[in-house]
Amino acid sequence: MLKDEFSELEEQRLSKLVKLREQRLEPYPTRSHKSHCNADAIAAFEKAEADESTETVEVVLAGRLRAIRNMGKLSFAHIEDVSGKVQLLFRVNELGEEKLDEFVRFYDLGDFIEASGSMFRTRRGEVTLQVADFRMLAKALLQLPADKDEVVDGEVVRHAQLSDPETRYRQRYVDLAVNPEVRENFKIRAKIIKALREFLDERGFLEVETPILQPIYGGAAAKPFTTYHNQLHQQLYLRISFELYLKRLLVGGLDRVYEIGRDFRNEGISFKHNTEFTQLEFYMAYADYMKIMEMTEQMVAQVAQKVLGTMKIQYDGHEIDLTPPWNRLQIRQGLIDQAGIDIQQYPDADSLAAVMKDKKIDFKPGISRGKLINTLLETYLEPIMIQPTFLYDYPRDISPLAKAKLEDPTTVERFEGYIGGMELCNAFTELNDPLDQEQRFLDMGHTYSEDEEERNPMDEDYLRAMAYGMPPNGGLGLGIDRFVMLLTGQHTLREIILFPPLRDADQDNKKD
C-alpha cells in the first residue's frame, strides 16, 4: 500500500489533501478548462502588446507548480506544461485573504494547478498571469527532486538537479518531470522517426508490419528470446530482424516496403547495444547495394536537416558532416592501408589467422575467415570512421543473405555505414537465387557449431517464397536508437530509450 510507506514529508502533503477535501475543494477534479498552453499565452500577450491593443488577454492556464515564492500579501509561482513555463502572480487585492491563504497553505511544488486571469508584464519584465481564480487539478503526494534554475548571463544554471542514473532510469517519469533536456531528446527522437517515414513515403515505399513472434528466427546473427504459445503448443521466438518477412513481401509484388519496429536480442547490454532496439528496414526491388548506399546518405542527411536544421552535427568532440556523398571504403583496401594485410592473399581462415598471429592481433581461435576479417575491421577500421563512411564488400560467410560479387565469390555486395566510430546501418544486394540461398543455409550449418548464434536456422518457407521468384533488390537495416544518439549528441542508448532495462530492484529478490 502506498500509504504505509509515506514519509513525514509525504504525510504533510496527505494532510493538505485531506484539508482541501474538508473545505470541499476536490484535489483531483475530473475536468480542466485550460484555454492556452503556456507558450501560446505568452505569445498571445506579446502580440497584443505589439499591436498596442487595449484588450486584456484572458486565459485559463494549467500546469505543474515548479516554483513558489510567497511574499506575504502576494505570491509568485511558475507553472510548467509541455510548452514551457509561465509565471503566475497571486495578489491579495484580486483574490482576498482567504483565497490567497488557500494557495499558501495547501499548494506544493509538483501539484497541478489551473489558474485563470489576464496576462500582464511585471516590473521586471516577465510576462505573467495575474490570477483571478485558481484550483487544484492534481495534488502531488510525493515530492519531486528539488531543482532550481538560476539565470546567469542569460544561461540557465540548474542547481541540485536529479542526476543519479539509477533513479533517472527507474523512475523516468521523475527524470522527465524535472529535466527538460531529457524531454527534448525524446521529442527529437519522435521527429527523427517521422522524418524517416516521410523520406520513404515520398519514394513510394509501403509501411508494413510483420510478426514479432516468429516460429523461426533469422535475418541476423544474434541469440533470440524464446517464448511459448499455450494454445498453439508452439515455441516462438521474438524476432531478431524483420528481413525474411519483408523480403517475402517482394515476392508478393510489394516492390518497396519498410518497417519500423522493435527487434529483440538476448545479448549483452552496452552504451550501443540494448536488448530491444528500434530498427528501420527497407527493401527496394530493382535496386542494388550501391543504389541503397546513395539512398541511405540522402535519407540520413535529409532527416538531420529536417530535425536539426543542419547536416553538421557535434558528436563526442567532433564536427561530423552528414552531407552526401559520404566516404566509401572497400574493406580490402582499408585493411591493406590500415593493417597492412591484403585479405585477398589469404583465401582461407588458416592462412589469414597465421598472418594475424604474426602481427600479434588478438582473435578468438577457430573462427571463420569472415569473422577474422570482421575482427580486423573492428580493430583497424571502425574506430577511425568518425566522418560518415560506407565500408563495403564483406566476406561471404558472415553474410548469408547477401549476393556474391560477380568477380569474387568469397565476397558479397554488402556495406555498413559508420558514423562517429559506430555502426549505424547494414545493407546488401539481397540474394534472390533460391538454390544459392539454400546452399548458404547449409554452409552455415557446416561452418558454425549448433550453439553459435551465426548459425541461422534453415527457413524452408523463406526458400519456397524465393523459389516463386523474388525480384532483384537491395535492402537496408538502420539502428534508429543509434541514429537518435548521434542527432541528440548522447553517448549512451539509455539516454534516448525511455525505459532502459534494469535489474529488478526488489530487495526480496536476492538470490538467483
Partner RNA sequence: GGGCGCGUAGCUCAAUGGUAGAGCAGCGGCCUUUUAAGCCGUUUGUUGAGAGUUCGAUCCUCUCCGCGCUCACCA
Single out the residue of 204, 199, 419, 203 nearest to residue 299, CA to CA: 199
Name which of residues 182 to 241 contact RNA (CB under 7 A).
220-222
Nearer to RNA, 7 or 439 (CB): 7
Interaction between residue 74 and RNA (CB under 7 A): yes
Least separation in angstroms between CB 204 and RNA: 27
C-alpha cell at 488: 541528440
Least separation in angstroms between CB 6 and RNA: 11
Interaction between residue 8 and RNA (CB under 7 A): yes
Single out the residue of 167, 146, 166 nearest to residue 158, CA to CA: 146
Nearer to RNA, 109 or 251 (CB): 109
Interface with RNA: number of residues (CB under 7 A): 84
302 SS3 class: helix
Interacting residue with RNA among 203, 273, 405, 455 (CB under 7 A):
273
Interaction between residue 18 and RNA (CB under 7 A): no
Over its C-alpha atoms, the chain yields an Rg (Å, rounded) of 29
| Residue given cell 532550481 in the structure block | 148
Strand partners, 159: 148
- Residue 70 CA, distance from chain mean position: 41
Nearer to RNA, 58 or 147 (CB): 147
Interaction between residue 159 and RNA (CB under 7 A): yes
Name which of residues 291 to 350 contact RNA (CB under 7 A).
none
Q: In this structure, is the dihedral angle defined by the CA atoms of residues 306, 311, 312 and 316, taken in order, positive or negative?
A: positive
Interaction between residue 271 and RNA (CB under 7 A): yes
Least separation in angstroms between CB 339 and RNA: 16
| Residue given cell 589469404 in the structure block | 346
Show the binding pattern over residues 83-122: x = contacts RNA (CB under 7 A), - = does not: ----x-x-xxx-----------x--xx------------x
Interaction between residue 12 and RNA (CB under 7 A): yes
Name which of residues 136 to 155 contact RNA (CB under 7 A).
143-151
Burial of 446 per CB tally in 10 Å (0-12, 13-18, 19+): exposed
* Cβ(250)–Cβ(283) below 8 Å: yes
Interacting residue with RNA among 114, 297, 397, 481 (CB under 7 A):
481
Interaction between residue 479 and RNA (CB under 7 A): yes
Interaction between residue 72 and RNA (CB under 7 A): yes
Nearer to RNA, 255 or 423 (CB): 423
Cα separation of 345 and 342, whole Å?
6
Least separation in angstroms between CB 468 and RNA: 28
Nearer to RNA, 93 or 231 (CB): 93
Interacting residue with RNA among 3, 24, 31, 123 (CB under 7 A):
123
* Cβ(303)–Cβ(192) below 8 Å: yes
Amino acid at 155: E
Interaction between residue 248 and RNA (CB under 7 A): no
Using the contact rule CB under 7 A, the part of the chain among 200-208, 403-411, 438-446, 494-502 near RNA is 494-502
Q: Is residue 238 within a helix (H) or strand (E), and if so which, with residue range?
A: strand 234-238
Using the contact rule CB under 7 A, the part of the chain among 36-44, 274-282, 311-319, 404-412 near RNA is 274-282
List Cα–Cα distances, 480 to 192, 243, 247, 303, 347, in angstroms: 8, 16, 20, 12, 35
Name which of residues 368 to 407 contact RNA (CB under 7 A).
371
Greatest extent of the chain over all pairs of C-alpha atoms, in Å: 90
Tell me how long the chain is: 512
Interaction between residue 449 and RNA (CB under 7 A): no
Least separation in angstroms between CB 2 and RNA: 15
Reduced DSSP (H G I as helix, E B as strand, rest coil) percent helix, strand, coil of the chain, to 5: 35, 30, 35
Single out the residue of 411, 418, 413, 407 nearest to residue 428, CA to CA: 413
Interaction between residue 434 and RNA (CB under 7 A): no
Which parts of 51-116 fold into alpha helices (H)?
Answer: 92-95, 97-106
